[in-house]
Amino acid sequence: MLNVTDLVVNYGAIQAVKQVSFEIHTGEIVTLIGANGAGKSTILQTISGIMRPKSGQMTYLGHPIQKTSAPKIVQAGISQVPEGRHVFPGLSVQENLQMGAFLRKDRSAIKQAYADVYQYFPVLKQRRHQDAATLSGGEQQMLAMGRALMAAPKLMLLDEPSMGLAPIFINEIFEIIKAINAAGTTVLLIEQNAKKALSIADRGYVLASGHIKLSGTGQDLLANQAVQQAYLGG
């Protein structure tokens, strides 16, 4: 589904991502793990079209996207759930979800998307008329994920979905990620909770200082001694 080849991304004079290559197959959950500052979020923002690579190639469903605008990337089927959630304050839960469907025209499909989101996140249906800014952190994360689902993505990019959440919400969020994937959405997951991410991932890549250092199945990386010592507290 997605091939990233020799990706280089700069922040001014700083090279944040250095010759990174990886791939995502249709139907997978793939995770990128690494310390803060490793370049994980930069990669997601570059795939989304928010940032531009200095060099390298990104191919999505056979088409190059490294020069494609962010709205056209969303239209092509890639949606990002940003780090920190970034719900729209002053808008209701339902209005936030509506923003996720901004580029869609098929009203019956949008109506079904609302139903699907409310099935994944029943609490959002209960709070659909509530200002999004008044939700708890976990509920805002659910809203950010629901908003991304409203765009009918083929590939969902999740940036630190468990950050700042209570353990009960973390478990719920990861169960919903698995359910979304099982329903047909491919997932690229960035997550500080490496143990949790690898436990649900088909495959993973370990990023350090802008480079891919290791790759393998989620289970192989969970069992890798270097990964355990660096990221799993082992």
- Domain holding 14, by residue range, is 2-91+154-231
Q: Is residue 175 part of a domain?
A: yes
> Using one digit for the tens of pLDDT, what is the confidence trace for 12-42?
888 999 999 999 999 999 999 988 878 899 9
Task: Report the number of distinct structural domains present in the chain.
Answer: 1
DSSP class per residue in 79-102: EEE-TT----TTSBHHHHHHHHTT
Q: Is residue 34 part of a domain?
A: yes
Q: Is residue 9 part of a domain?
A: yes
Mean pLDDT across the chain, nearest whole number?
Answer: 93
DSSP class per residue in 4-27: EEEEEEEETTEEEEEEEEEEE-TT
User: Residue type at 1?
Assistant: M
Which CATH number does the domain housing residue 194 bear?
3.40.50.300
Q: Is residue 149 part of a domain?
A: no
Q: Is residue 104 part of a domain?
A: no
> Using one digit for the tens of pLDDT, what is the confidence trace for 102-161?
888 888 999 999 999 999 999 999 999 999 999 999 999 999 999 999 999 999 999 999
Q: Is residue 227 part of a domain?
A: yes
Residue 166 pLDDT class (50, 70, 90 cuts): confident
Q: Is residue 129 part of a domain?
A: no
Q: Is residue 144 part of a domain?
A: no
- Asked if 16 and 49 touch (Cβ cutoff 8 Å), the reply is no
